[in-house]
Amino acid sequence: MTNKKRFLTALIVLLLVRVADAQTKETAPPEKKLPLPGEEFRVLGHTAFVIPPDKKSNGATPWVWYAPTLPGLPGTEERWMFERFKKAGIAIAGIDVGESFGSPDGRKLFTAFHRELSEQRGFSPKPVLLGRSRGGLLTLCWAVENADKVGGFAGVYPVCNIASYPGVLAASGAYQLKPEELEAKLAEHNPIDRLAALAKAKVPLFAIHGDLDTVVPLEANSGEVRKRYEALGGTMQLIVPAGQGHNMWSGFFQCQELVDFVIANAKSK
């Protein structure tokens, strides 16, 4: 064998190995540490998870859809509420769509995830969405376009307004737009401006949001959503803990009213 043939053979082998490695990474179960035992899998190449309920339902499995599913989230803070969901027969699930800030690309991944659970895994077509901080933006941006697939929305100091957080400049890259282009089209994407479909579908909303939150200000997010949603005829329960900001206070994550809201609306669909 000539040196040229040896080189070409080695190059082909190297390429085949790299392809095999890529395929293995794509199909192998993703590594994710969850606060409770569950299944990790992939949807369109993105890490997803399901924490099963303690008891099976006679029909479709009720579930709460958690976001953001970034590395390290959901965290140990959510364990208390997750245990109560499980005990009530409700699964917890989510998909990591990265820092998409509710962009169309992130929404497409959410749709694929919803289809996977509702059509392939026997889950209810109407989960309750649960958004923590920027997870509120991820879930609400999808919800306003899929009101018929939403049993309810609950938020822990949820982002509801792109202009408030992360701001148009920071979000523009995820939307594949220049900042001035996103600014001009903000009402086409911003969930706070697109609540009418949820109100028409009578989707109940809930949030717990501190009055001293400077990262995701109450007035520009949960407070403004409640004002606009009630003006549209919708219902929203808002709990405002005095003296609390955007922090890890246990009251945000061990809120019995939130748990009751999720259980009532996940199991009624």
9 contact partners, CB below 8 Å, separation of at least 6 = 1
Give me the mean pLDDT over the 207-218 stretch: 98
Per-residue pLDDT band at 184 (split at 50, 70, 90)? very high
Which has more confidence, 16 or 262?
262
Enumerate the domain spans of the chain: 1-30, 32-266
Helix (H, G, I), strand (E, B) or coil at 171: helix
Express as a percent the part of the chain with pLDDT over 90.
86
40, 92 contact by CB (below 8 A): no
Give me the mean pLDDT over the 243-249 stretch: 98
Q: What is the pTM of this model?
A: 0.88
Predicted confidence at residue 10, as pLDDT, reads 46
CA–CA dist 93, 21 (Å, integer): 28
Give me the mean pLDDT over the 100-128 stretch: 98
CB atoms within 10 A of CB 127: 29
CA–CA dist 199, 216 (Å, integer): 23
Express as a percent the part of the chain with pLDDT over 70.
88
Per-residue pLDDT band at 27 (split at 50, 70, 90)? low
Fold of 32-266: Rossmann fold (3.40.50)
Predicted confidence at residue 57, as pLDDT, reads 84
Give the CA distances from residue 264 to residues 56, 152, 241, in Å, rounded to whole numbers and listed in that order: 17, 10, 23
pLDDT at 21 exceeding the cut of 90:
no
